[in-house]
Structure 1
Amino acid sequence: MRYSNPHLPASEYTANNKHELREMFKLLVIAILIIAGVVFLIDRLVYLFSPYIPFSWESTLVENIPLINKNIEQKHTDIKALKQEKMLQKRVDIIASNMNLPKDMKITAHYLEGATVNAFATLGGHVFVYHGMLEKIKYQEELDALLAHEIAHVYKRHITQQMSRAILISVILTTAKLNHSGFGRWLLGDGSNIGLLAYSRVAEQESDENACHISLKLHGHTQGVVKLMQQLNLVAQQQGYEWTKSHPDTKSRILFAQQYRLGEQKLKPMKLLF
């Protein structure tokens, strides 16, 4: 005698399929939530504890990052470029001496050719300023505000935090073999950027506050910070969304700097630095 499965009515068969799909969907959602929760929890721990990583480790790590190392080892032969870099280092030393930096935290200034209107800090206390940025700056107080802002990124260990978080997320997803999945690509890409964006804006606000405090200490006012933010506001208008992805609204930054301003003291032209 041959056995065969009983024939189920169509309605019962459809109901079973729907039930199984619902259960599978629930399990998938639960798995995604657990993975996201674990990543978020570890991410927060890394963000909180990464500032305690010895600063000397940063300097060692920089030597193994070709892109950063290439800019650090760049030697200028042009007299004007050498003069610019020497001037930047002088201002950096003055600003650093007015901050409570750890003894092993050395800040090194670098001048970069190019029309890019930007400045940035990297691991190991290296601060880079593009020629295009210097062309936009008219006053000493503006330059000091810019450098104080970038030095704050080093001092507050913002770069260490961001890099540690990015590496962590990548390692977790690679270990879980999710780095090539749609969810993994989203978390490594847009999903991760959402978190990085929130933290980077907090970092920018902390650095703005440091720029204001240093400006008050060195110059007695924050007009240099205001002037700098007005220049950056013009850049934001030109670059649009790309700038606002990683920077707070420049108008709010101007208002923040203006609340510290004490008096209308005359600003010193940049040419006096040479």
Structure 2
Amino acid sequence: MKFEHRDIPEGINVTDVHPLRELAVLLCGAVLLIVAGVYVLGLSAGLMAPYIPFEIERKLASSFPVEQGSEGEVEAYLQQVTDRVVDVMALPDDIDITLHYSQGNTVNAFATLGGNVIVFRGLLEKLPNENALAMLLAHEIAHVKHRDPIVSLTRGVTISSALGLILGWSDLDLMGEAGVYTLLHFSRTMEQEADKEALQAVYRLYGHTRGATDLFDTISAWHKASGAGDGIEFMQSHPLDQNRIKTLNALTASNNWPQVGEITPLPRSVVN
């Protein structure tokens, strides 16, 4: 073998890419992997959450007692409508609903852990009829039936805990009362499924769906009057009010449910 001497080219171990750029690429890749991993972990936790016995969810909810309102005509009426709605929604035997009426002016209602449903006076006084109220109650009860609160909480706690572990956050109070209610956010898919279940409940209750979408007309009018606006649907968990109405009208038509029927007024004790 003949040896041949060759000069080594200059810059053979030098890259044209700036080292800071390489570092940025590596960091971005690591961040994407962490985000993807945390997302998959949270998704997996959410898929497992519905298998948690409702009794455990009820015991967890008892750690965060909901303020009880005074017993009166309004509370009795709301309970009566709630009982009628529950009767047509075929809830599992181990799930029960506890209604709470708040005197607050907040225009809201929501379902939380353990079958607790809270309705605020601020929203109740804006509703035009009982049919809209039944739609509201059925929507929140549907969240309980679908186990949305425990799914939302489990997913939120898992993701927050994983991020806290990775980022070194040591002062997270995820299972405190404030932490629990902060994590209880339902996805748009959850909201859409609850709308469908609620519309079916209204049909079963009254024999028609007239008045059901009055709930969203009321909320939409309040949004405009308060200056809140509907916003951009992609940025919200709730579908936009007008889109919800169109979807529900289409669902009514596809099931051949009557859209014409008697509207039940609210009692004077609720309206005044």
Give the AA of the match of 1:251.
Answer: Q
Q: Distance in 2 between matches of 1:154 and 1:124?
A: 8
8 Å CA contact 2:97–2:141 kept in 1: the answer is yes
How many Å apart are 1:236 and its aligned residue? Answer: 2.8
What does residue 211 of structure 1 align with? 198
Which of 250, 266, 271 in structure 1 is aligned with 2:267?
Answer: 271
Mapped pair 1:229 → 2:216: yes
SS at match of 1:223: coil
C-alpha distance in structure 2 between counterparts of 1:18 and 1:263, whole Å: 66
Q: Is the 8 A contact 1:114 1:132 kept in 2?
A: yes
Q: CA separation of 1:162/1:270 partners in 2, compared to 1, >3 Å: closer, same or farther? A: same
Unaligned runs of 5+ in 2: 1-10, 171-183
Q: Does the aligned pair in 2 maintain the 1:119–1:133 contact within 8 Å?
A: yes
**What SS is found at the alignment partner of 2:167?**
coil
Matches within 5 A, 1:98-177: 98-177=88-167
CA 21–179 in structure 1, closer or farther in 2 if over 3 Å, else same: same
2:246 to 245, 255, 260: 255
- C-alpha spacing 1:70/1:82, structure 2 compared with 1 (3 Å): same
Contact 1:142 1:228 (8 Å CA) reproduced? yes
Summarize the Cα distance change of 1:243–1:144 in structure 2 as closer, same or farther, 3 Å threshold: farther
Change (3 A) 1:75 1:250: closer
Per-residue deviation at 1:258? 2.0
Match of 1:54 in 2: 53
Please give the per-residue CA displacement for 1:195-223, whole angstroms capped at 9, x wherever unaligned.
x97x6211111111011101111112212
Deviations 1:141-194 (A, max 9, x none): 1111110000001111111111111111111012223549xxxxxxxxxxxxxx
TM-score where L is the length of structure 1: 0.78
TM-superposed deviation, 1:257: 2.2
Pick the structure with more helix per residue: 1
Residue 18 of structure 1 and its aligned partner are, at CA, apart by: 5.3
- Cα pair distance change 1:30/1:93, threshold 3 Å: same
Q: Is the 2:209–2:260 contact (alpha carbons within 8 Å) kept by the matching residues of 1?
A: no
Contact 2:106 2:123 in 1 (8 A): yes
Total equivalences in the alignment: 237
TM (norm. structure 2) is 0.79
Gap regions ≥5 residues in structure 1: 1-11, 181-195
Give the match's secondary structure for 2:187.
Answer: helix
CA distance, structure 2, for counterparts of residue 216 and residue 53 of structure 1: 31
What's the % identity of the aligned pairs? 36
Give the aligned partner of residue 177 of structure 2.
none
Give how far 1:97 is off: 1.6
**Residues 131 and 264, structure 2, Cα contact 8 Å, conserved in 1:** yes
* Offset, 1:243: 9.5
SS in 2 for 1:211: helix
Cα distance between partner residues in 2 of 1:229 and 1:177: 41
Corresponding residue of 1:189: none
